[in-house]
Structure 1
Amino acid sequence: MDLELRHLRVLCTIAEAGSLTRAAASLGMTQPGLSAQLRRIEAMLGGVLFARGQAGVVATPFGELVLDRARAVLPGIDGLITDTARMARRMSACDCVRIGSVGAPLLGQLVLAVKAVLPDARVTTRCQHSPVTLLDELAADRLEAAVLGDHPDQRLPHRDGVVLRPLATEPVFALLPASHPLARREEVPLTALLDEDWAAPRPDGDRTREYWSTVCAAADRSPYIPYEAEGRPLIELVRAGLAVSLCQATFIEVPGTAVRPLAGNPLWYRHVLAWHHDGPLARHGDDILRRVTAGYRDTCAAAPAYARWRTRHPHATGPA
């Protein structure tokens, strides 16, 4: 039997687990099967690698020598496998483009833009609430492009190899039950909204809740959020009259809800497109950005509350 990379991975797993039983579970093997494989590796290398005891296993001096060499070799091999696989995918015909998105209105526009520049590509999508998760997947080459978002003073972190192109900055609006007294106003003071029960997404990597709380703290108030929800469940809580919430300006009112600007525009949201700088979409980046921007303008026009706001604020491009 010749020594293989998988044998070195087995040895490293045993050393990290400190137990053949735990290592076997991690490797998806039986404990007797792993013990037999370890004996074969030891016979091949010519020495005992681990001393067995009631508390588990500990590397022998001979085993430490082998482990030191294995730990030096494996990262380079893993990097070689990752880099060559990435390069092979990019050198081959781009037959599949993977797109990620946060809860924003641009996913459809991005898919259409990709199909326009790569008509033969098969496009797949997946959504996450946190833009940081999608950013990490872009950096790890598990996505080709993504629709992301952030807030003032909470910009998306830098990731090597990922291009971030801001597309638009828009105000955050109030989402109200249609029967709520505040829905009769053209604009809603944030302080008035803070007198109500809120529904909001749970705190996570996108820091939205943190941003909302920071802005509300300027009014010496904090939103009371008894309902943690997102998407359809959040809308249903608002429709039922149980809570108010905040939404993107491009949110389309559904029956039973009302979308209203916040007086003074205290909260903002920035839409960002991202792609890998040497991925299959890199050379089409400017064209894709142009197409998605045009689609975003159509989306703005289709959102009545935002369309009215833009008429009153034709030159507003972000927080003062």
Structure 2
Amino acid sequence: MDLEVRHLRVLRAIAEAGSLTRAAASLSMTQPGLSAQLRRIESMLGGALFDRRQDGARPTPFGELVLARAHAILPGIDALLSDTARAARRLASPHRVRIGSVGAPLLGHLVMAVRESLPGAEVTARCQYSPGVLLGDLAAGRLEAAALGDHPDQELPPHDGIVLAPLVTEPVFALLPSAHPLAAEESVSLAQLADHDWAVPRPDGDRTREYWDSVCALTGHRPATPYEAEGRQLTELVRVGLAVSLCQATFLESPGVTVRPLAGNPLWYRHVLAWHRDGPLAAHGEALLRTVSAGYLTSCSAAPVYARWRRRHPHAARLPDCAAAVPCGEEGDGTPSACR
């Protein structure tokens, strides 16, 4: 067996974690599998690389030598892979565009925008609840563009080579069973909702649950949350009267569920478009934003409760001029000119 780059990454992971168990978890491996691989690497190199103790794994003097070389080699390899991935995106055929989206009303509009900008493109799409996962896929070159979302004080982290273009920040609304007494109100407060069981998203890579909890805590209202669900399952728990919940302002009411604004607008959600600065969509950033912005306004009109809210709050959830993107970039890098 020849020494490979992945073997050096394994050794680095063990050294950084300080134990085979923690390193196996970070590498998505089993601990026995990692132990077997380490034995093969040690056999190939000709000596023990780590002292395995009850309190962890520490490099031997021989292991320190190997790790020093690995630390010198791996950054250059990582830089090479990053540079070649970026170059490949620049050379990529515009006829294949992969799009990701969170559960928001922008996916269809983004697909249409891509087709308008690249008429001959083959466009594929997939949805994921967590915007962090999609942003990681975008940064790794597994997607060309994505419709993402975040919350105040939980902004998406910047990634090298990725344009993040905020589209609009909208209020979060209440989702109620249609037969619920509060459904007859023009708006409801968090204090009123706190007296009822809630259906909430799972606390995973998407930080929606964390955001809801933090705002409720600040207002002194901590509701009971016996139900964890997303999408249709969450809606069904509300429909049958087991729980109340929160939803995006553009959520479309259906038989059995009612949407109502939250009094005082305590919670907000921001829609964000993202694409590669060097990818096939880089030259079409402004066109994408214009088309998706127009589509978003159509979604607003289709949601009567939100449409009424927007008429009463004309400056609270405005689309930016040409939906300016951040972070701003240099001329010709694919960042819309409204941001320059």
- Is 1:264 equivalent to 2:272 in the alignment? no
Structure 1 unaligned spans of 5+: 43-47
Report how far residue 59 of structure 1 moved.
Answer: 8.3
TM-score when normalising by structure 1: 0.81
Match of 1:206 in 2: 206
Match of 1:25 in 2: 33
Distance 1:164 1:317 in 2: 18
Deviates more, 1:291-300 or 1:276-285: 276-285
Distance 2:95 2:148 in 1: 24
Cα RMSD after superposing both structures: 3.3
Q: Percent identity?
A: 62
TM-score when normalising by structure 2: 0.77
Q: Given residue 302 of structure 1, which amino acid in structure 2 is its aligned partner? A: A
Alignment partner of 2:88: what SS?
Answer: helix
Match of 2:158 in 1: 158
> Is the 8 Å Cα contact of residues 93 and 280 (structure 2) preserved in structure 1?
no
Distance 1:65 1:139 in 2: 33
Deviation string 1:228-257 (CA, Å, 9 cap, x unpaired) is: 111011011001100010101100011111
Report how far residue 53 of structure 1 moved.
Answer: 10
Distance 1:139 1:168 in 2: 23
Deviation string 1:269-293 (CA, Å, 9 cap, x unpaired) is: 1111111222221111111011000
1:27–1:118: structure 2 CA closer, same or farther, 3 Å change rule?
farther
Matched ranges for 1:117-196 at <5 A: 117-196=117-196
Alignment partner of 1:202: what SS?
Answer: coil
Report how far residue 224 of structure 1 moved.
Answer: 1.2
Distance 2:231 2:184 in 1: 24
1:195–1:96: structure 2 CA closer, same or farther, 3 Å change rule?
same
Match of 2:253 in 1: 253
> Is the 8 Å Cα contact of residues 102 and 148 (structure 1) preserved in structure 2?
yes
Deviates more, 1:240-249 or 1:209-218: 209-218
Alignment partner of 1:224: what SS?
Answer: coil
Alignment partner of 1:183: what SS?
Answer: helix
Distance 1:261 1:112 in 2: 30
Alignment partner of 2:170: what SS?
Answer: strand
Deviation string 1:51-77 (CA, Å, 9 cap, x unpaired) is: 89999x998867765554344224423
Match of 1:219 in 2: 219
> Is the 8 Å Cα contact of residues 102 and 130 (structure 1) preserved in structure 2?
yes
Q: Given residue 176 of structure 1, which amino acid in structure 2 is its aligned partner? A: L
1:62–1:306: structure 2 CA closer, same or farther, 3 Å change rule?
closer
> Is the 8 Å Cα contact of residues 177 and 241 (structure 2) preserved in structure 1?
yes
Deviates more, 1:235-244 or 1:259-268: 259-268
Alignment partner of 1:242: what SS?
Answer: coil
1:50–1:299: structure 2 CA closer, same or farther, 3 Å change rule?
same
Deviation string 1:1-27 (CA, Å, 9 cap, x unpaired) is: xx9663x654774795999xx999359
Report how far residue 302 of structure 1 moved.
Answer: 0.6
Match of 2:302 in 1: 302
Structure whose alpha-carbon radius of gyration is higher:
1
Report how far residue 307 of structure 1 moved.
Answer: 1.4
Match of 1:45 in 2: none
Q: How many residue pairs were aligned?
A: 302
